Amino acid sequence: MKIMNLSKEQSQKLALLVIGHGMLVLLIGLVAGLMLVFSLLDAVTIWPLPVWDITIPGSTRGWQAAHVGGILNGVMIAGVALLMKRLQISGSRAFWVGWGMIITGWANTVFYWGGSLSKNRGLSVTETPFGEGDFFGAVAFLFGAPGMIFTFIAITIIAISAFEKSKELN
């Protein structure tokens, strides 16, 4: 098996793997929703358990972004996997789309969570208008920025494949 030139069967298996990763990213987005609730309440409270007065690290805005972003990323990743199957993408294209989406999901998850915990929203390794650079900001940026490249590659391949399929039908 050549790693970059997947057979149709390997491509279909990769598409299912992408769906699984997408659902894990979505699940972590749901967990970020719990962090959002706890951040809003400034306590960990799950009825009927006693309330724990704990300050949740990070910002409410950051947990909101991690919650919504995680859910949307999970849906996007699973949707792209279904498009891989529908467009019958195989070979090196399947490799780049499939692994590009897996990398996208985890890079964005680290970005959102790190951004929530950082002073500068994870938009740089240095100071931004939102705050000074710190460890979590650097981690968020250093994972998120390269992950973006894989997203652009995967989505471009999907678009090209769809246009090619539409020409085949004429």
User: pTM (2 decimals)?
Assistant: 0.89
Residues 100, 153 contacting (CB under 8 angstroms)? yes
Q: How many residues are given for the chain?
A: 170
The pLDDT tens digits for 42-59 are: 888 888 888 888 888 999
| pLDDT of the residue at 1 | 42
The pLDDT tens digits for 67-116 are: 999 999 999 999 999 999 999 999 999 999 999 999 999 999 999 999 99
Question: DSSP letter at 122?
Answer: T
List, in sequence order, every residue forming a beta bridge with 131; answer none if it has no partner.
128
List, in sequence order, every residue forming a beta bridge with 44; answer none if it has no partner.
52
**Mean per-residue pLDDT for 132-144?**
93
